[in-house]
Amino acid sequence: MITALTLLIIFAVFALIFIIFKFVGSIILIALLLFLVIAVGIGLIGMMGGAVVGVLAFLPKIIIAVIIVALIAYVID
């Protein structure tokens, strides 16, 4: 239930970010916001398994988040 709620919050923030992007139009801003959402979301999901496991799992997933953001920024641009 917590995982589903977390994913729902992440998707809601994604929708909000894309609405902001329509008004702002800055690709750097949207990439930074997407990175923050993905990193925090992955961190929250990872830390449900325990604080130590979550922190250790958080570091390599930041790299995955950066790759995802780069791909999204490339597609949008």
Per the confidence metrics, is the pTM higher than 0.85? no
Q: In the prediction, which pLDDT does 1 show? A: 46
Q: Are 54 and 12 within 8 A, CB to CB? A: no
Domain count, the chain: 1
Q: Is the pLDDT of residue 56 over 60?
A: no
Range of the domain at 54: 2-76
**Per-residue pLDDT reduced to its tens digit, 5-50:** 666 666 766 766 666 666 666 666 667 777 777 777 666 666 555 5
Contacts 24+ apart (CB under 8 A), 65-74: 65/35, 65/38, 65/39, 66/35, 68/34, 68/38, 69/31, 69/34, 69/35, 69/38, 70/31, 72/31, 72/34, 73/27, 73/30, 73/31, 73/34
